A and B are shown apart, each in its own frame.
Chain A
Amino acid sequence: MKKLLTILAWTAISLAGAGGLAAIAFERGEPLGATWFIVAAACTYLVAYRFYSAFISAKVLALDNSRATPAERLDDGRDFVPTNKWVLMGHHFAAIAGPGPLVGPTLAAQFGYLPGTLWIIVGAVLGGCVQDFVILFLSIRRNGKSLGQMAREEVSRRGGMIALLAVLAIMVILLAVVGLVIVNALKSSPWGTFTLAMTIPIAMLMGVYMRYWRPGRVLEASAIGFALIIFALVAGQWVAEAPGWARVFTLSGPALAAAIILYGFAASALPVWLLLAPRDYLSAFIKVGVVFALAAGILLVRPTIQMPALTRFIDGTGPVFAGTIFPFCFITIACGAVSGFHALISSGTTPKMITCEGHARLVGYGSMLMESFVAVMAMVAACALAPGVYFAINSPAGIVGASPEAAAATISSWGYAVEAQTMTQLARQVGEETLLNRTGGAPSLAVGMAQIFSSTIGGPRLLGIWYHFAIMFEALFILTVLDAGTRVGRFMVQELLGHVWKPMARTGWYPSILASSALIVAAWGYFLFQGVLDPLGGINSLWPLFGIANQLLATVALVVATTILIKMKQLRWVWVTLVPMVWLVTITMTASFQKIFHANPRIGFLAQARVLREQIASGAVATNLIGVTERLIFNNLLDAVVTALLAGMVIFLLAEALYEWYRILSARKMPALREAPYVATRWAEGD
């Protein structure tokens, strides 16, 4: 009887999921409710978790709960700590959750809601979750070794080096692009700038509280910090309305970029307890809170999706970023479906804390499902906006024109009606000077979230507060990535420089700290400035570059996973990682090739450089702008070189892996697994 009920329940969930997906895919002409997105996503996740991840656990990886995990064998109370699986899932989710799944889907909404939503759901279930889960398992079996170490030991010596370089490259591009998102969100916005600036002293106050007054009382400090942030949010409006103060906090793009670069340097060189850690606590709490609030808001308000299923921009002429739906939809979504970065967390602290192998399913596969759900909600928030408004916010001035009238006319001519007055009024309602040409995704996501939240609490009167709350949340989050990333980048630079000159590797030596911090900040700062000055808006060139780098790292992870599955003689099930790997190689290679060689100057870096060069040669560029144009040419060439290097690394690693597979499969080489030997657990089995 119980079994029958279970079967019936799962049949119902499967049917609901299929119904939701069908509604999204085939609904035409009639307004589509956002609830369908939630139903389709949640039911697909449940079915995938219940069946696909169970299949991977049992057949592909053969998780063994009788085997002692590193947390049990090496328990030292510090790095290796057996942890409750729900607690560990919270840890893991907090670590993998970043601004990527919020920004990526918002940008990809320019293709319409359908392609992005499908990829977020399908890509996560078959790709991203599998990657996170398998890498976590492999690392558990190897005493918590990192992705780089596993690549070196299991694929090839150079594989490890590629993983390290890929991580460094991603870090630099990621930090630049998220920095650009903040700049675009805060440009000439005194309210937002003030609120975000206030988070710095608030974080420092929390830091002192947790360090000296009440050591380690994280929750108390976070509660105080949260209250102060809400106060700063409200105070932001007063600042924006007081002309004298508003002027102080109204910053141009380059000024904001300089401030962020300076901040990154400070956060990397200062002790973690003062700024980095407290900000991290604060943003983690706010993130989890906002995710739940957004889910509740969407279910309560049930907004109507206004974006069409597919827009005309699937042909590659999109204003938000250029490029056809394949491969750029996949590259743009990035973290919401598959994120190579997660493999670093899955092979970082998490494997050292897992109590038994069976928990890897919830922690690895389950956490990524939640991340994907966040991406679906970001897609809903973007697509609930009127398409005309969405394009007006997200299109750079270089494409639609700088004046409200010009932008409205251009966008309306595409078939997405919008009036200049609507935009002016909306800007006034949210307390901004303008909402036009605010590229980067954050402002449009904030408008979408503010509309959902204010329909639940406060109505139009609170639209401004909700908008700036959303901006503050995104920016806070991004700054956390920025300072933590800069710090990790600094350690990597120190390690690399240590090979050249020993003392540089000493992480506590101040000259080394300052030099390596400056180096890493200069690297991402350069790309950030490049984006700020780019007349096409910067996001157009930097976000795809970030997507390519991130998917490249995912490819590295899946190559490692596939190689190990082959060595484990799991040939029958090797498609589980091989299929997503082949797909990722296809999209990263196509995207890299197009970003370098495409004839359309908005897509191809070389074509853009050529067009600019021709403009100089034909005298179309004013003499005082020749210097700027030459720098744009150089930047395009640099971007082309970086893309080529990333693609070259993938090809190289693939060649090495294919050779290794050939040798194993043709019995020319005995497969040598570097697993830690089996030790039986001393704990009673069970969760």
Chain B
Amino acid sequence: MNGETVARLFGGGAFLQVVHRAWWWLRQVSGDAAYENYLRRVATARPAGGSCPHGAGGVLTREEFFLDALRRRYSGVSRCC
């Protein structure tokens, strides 16, 4: 479910804005949107600098990206007491 779907479900107005924003925030914080962010970044960063961090391997798939993100997240202190 993306922002537009939410918009269709809840109609217009200020309330919609709040719901839309909250949903966006939730997806960002939880990492649900991480892959889309990554794709958007790859699309914009490539032609400009050509400094693709992933070498010749090209764009990661959703699954590869997810596993890579987990590996990095849990190789350092990720949780407190």
Interface residues of A (CB under 8 A from B): 75-79, 81, 83-84, 86-87, 90-91, 94-100, 167, 170, 174, 178, 210-212, 215-219, 222, 272-273, 276-277, 280-281, 284-285, 334-335, 339, 341-342, 344-345, 348-349, 480-481, 484-485, 487-488, 491, 507, 546, 550
Partner of B73, one of A83, A90, A178, A349: A349
Asked if A95 and B81 make an inter-chain contact with CB atoms under 8 angstroms apart, the answer reads no
Most B C-beta atoms less than 10 A away, residue of A216, A339, A349: A216
Residues of B within 8 A of A211 (CB): 63, 66-67
- Known contacts A211-B67, A217-B32, A345 near B80 by CB under 8 Å: yes
Asked if B77 and A216 make an inter-chain contact with CB atoms under 8 angstroms apart, the answer reads no
Count residues of chain B with CB under 8 A from any CB of chain A: 36
Partner of A277, one of B61, B65, B68, B74: B74
Nearest neighbor of A342 in chain B, beta-carbon distance: B80
- Known contacts A96-B80, A216-B63, A219-B26, A78 near B68 by CB under 8 Å: yes
Other contacts beyond A218-B32, A219-B32: 8, CB < 8 A: A81-B37, A86-B25, A95-B80, A98-B81, A100-B80, A219-B27, A484-B79, A491-B76
Partner of A79, one of B61, B70, B72: B72
Chain A interface main SS type: helix
User: How far apart sit A295 and B41, CA to CA, in the bound complex (Å)?
Assistant: 38
Nearest neighbor of B27 in chain A, beta-carbon distance: A219
Scan residues 21-75 of chain B and give those whose CB is less than 8 A from a CB of chain A. Answer: 25-32, 34-35, 37-38, 41-42, 45, 53, 61-63, 65-75
Residues of B within 8 A of A75 (CB): 45
Residues of A within 8 A of B41 (CB): 77
B5 in the interface (beta carbon within 8 A): no
Asked if A273 and B67 make an inter-chain contact with CB atoms under 8 angstroms apart, the answer reads yes
Partner of A339, one of B61, B62, B81: B81
Residues of A within 8 A of B77 (CB): 167, 341, 344-345, 348, 488
Residues of B within 8 A of A217 (CB): 32
Partner of A100, one of B30, B35, B63, B81: B81
Least CB distance from A85 to B in Å reads: 11
User: How far apart sit A471 and B72, CA to CA, in the bound complex (Å)?
Assistant: 31
Least CB distance from A354 to B in Å reads: 15
Residues of A within 8 A of B31 (CB): 216, 218
Asked if B78 and A216 make an inter-chain contact with CB atoms under 8 angstroms apart, the answer reads no
Residues of A within 8 A of B78 (CB): 95, 280, 345, 348-349, 484, 488
Most B C-beta atoms less than 10 A away, residue of A77, A98, A280: A77
Asked if A272 and B80 make an inter-chain contact with CB atoms under 8 angstroms apart, the answer reads no
Most B C-beta atoms less than 10 A away, residue of A174, A178, A335, A488: A488
Asked if A77 and B76 make an inter-chain contact with CB atoms under 8 angstroms apart, the answer reads no
Least CB distance from A679 to B in Å reads: 16
Asked if A87 and B81 make an inter-chain contact with CB atoms under 8 angstroms apart, the answer reads no
Residues of A within 8 A of B38 (CB): 77-78
Least CB distance from A374 to B in Å reads: 12
Asked if A219 and B80 make an inter-chain contact with CB atoms under 8 angstroms apart, the answer reads no
Least CB distance from A489 to B in Å reads: 10
Least CB distance from B24 to A in Å reads: 9
Nearest neighbor of A91 in chain B, beta-carbon distance: B29
Residues of A within 8 A of B68 (CB): 78
Asked if B32 and A277 make an inter-chain contact with CB atoms under 8 angstroms apart, the answer reads no
Asked if B29 and A277 make an inter-chain contact with CB atoms under 8 angstroms apart, the answer reads no
User: How far apart sit A122 and B47, CA to CA, in the bound complex (Å)?
Assistant: 52
Residues of A within 8 A of B71 (CB): 272
Asked if A77 and B26 make an inter-chain contact with CB atoms under 8 angstroms apart, the answer reads no
- Known contacts A86-B25, A90-B25, A211-B67, A77 near B45 by CB under 8 Å: yes
Asked if A87 and B29 make an inter-chain contact with CB atoms under 8 angstroms apart, the answer reads yes
Least CB distance from B28 to A in Å reads: 4
Asked if B80 and A76 make an inter-chain contact with CB atoms under 8 angstroms apart, the answer reads no
Most B C-beta atoms less than 10 A away, residue of A342, A344, A480: A344
Least CB distance from B22 to A in Å reads: 10
Least CB distance from B4 to A in Å reads: 16
Residues of B within 8 A of A349 (CB): 73, 76, 78
- Known contacts A78-B68, A341-B81, A349-B76, A215 near B30 by CB under 8 Å: no
Nearest neighbor of B42 in chain A, beta-carbon distance: A77
User: How far apart sit A342 and B81, CA to CA, in the bound complex (Å)?
Assistant: 9
Asked if A335 and B81 make an inter-chain contact with CB atoms under 8 angstroms apart, the answer reads yes
Asked if A84 and B53 make an inter-chain contact with CB atoms under 8 angstroms apart, the answer reads no
Asked if B30 and A97 make an inter-chain contact with CB atoms under 8 angstroms apart, the answer reads no
